[in-house]
Amino acid sequence: MHTLSFKAIARALVVTVVMTVVTAMASMLPTDSLADPPPGKGNPNKGNSGNHNGNNSVQSINNSLSNTTADLITAGITIAAARALAVDVGATGFKPLPPGIAKNLARGKPLPPGIATRNLPSNLLKGLPYYDGYQWLAAGTDLLLIHTASRVVADVLTDALR
């Protein structure tokens, strides 16, 4: 039988009391208001003061993006298979996007405005999976599956067209 020492019991008791006090104090803090910016800085009417029913814009954006990502399909083809198909039909040799633009191409994010995309050759499209409501595009060396109505990136096959 293992017995606990007095020190171990005392430590556990202290931790429990401290956590209870911290939790109680945290529950007393206001959660829906922040101070307005100092004079001359920002817009005092745009702060987080007031009742927002526990929601803020960042949380709303994150929720909408996570819901969008969950609703999107995946490419249904591996990068290696797409690369092999591109090589077979001669759709390779493209220059990559600049790193700052390339990092904005991610599943669940809207297609960045003004990004240079190209339609794919029909012989390449014939080998890629077809999904109603989606289209395949090329951006630099990346193969993109885009939700047509929302212009949200459903999948990115990185360097499939290099």
The CA distance from 106 to 149, in Å, is: 17
Dmax (CA) of the chain: 77
The answer to whether the pTM exceeds 0.75 is no
Report the candidate in 153, 151, 130 with the shortest Cα–Cα distance to residue 142. 153
The per-residue pLDDT for 37 is 67
User: Which residue bears the tokens 């067209």?
Assistant: 161
Single-letter code of the amino acid located at 87: V
**The pair of three-digit structure tokens given for residue 120, joined into one six-digit string:** 């794919």
Torsion angles phi and psi, residue 145, rounded to 5: -105, 120
Portion of the chain with pLDDT greater than 70, in percent: 59
- What is the band of 44 on the pLDDT scale with cuts at 50, 70, 90? low
Query: Do residues 82 and 75 lie in contact, with contact meaning Cβ atoms separated by under 8 Å?
Result: yes
The per-residue pLDDT for 144 is 96
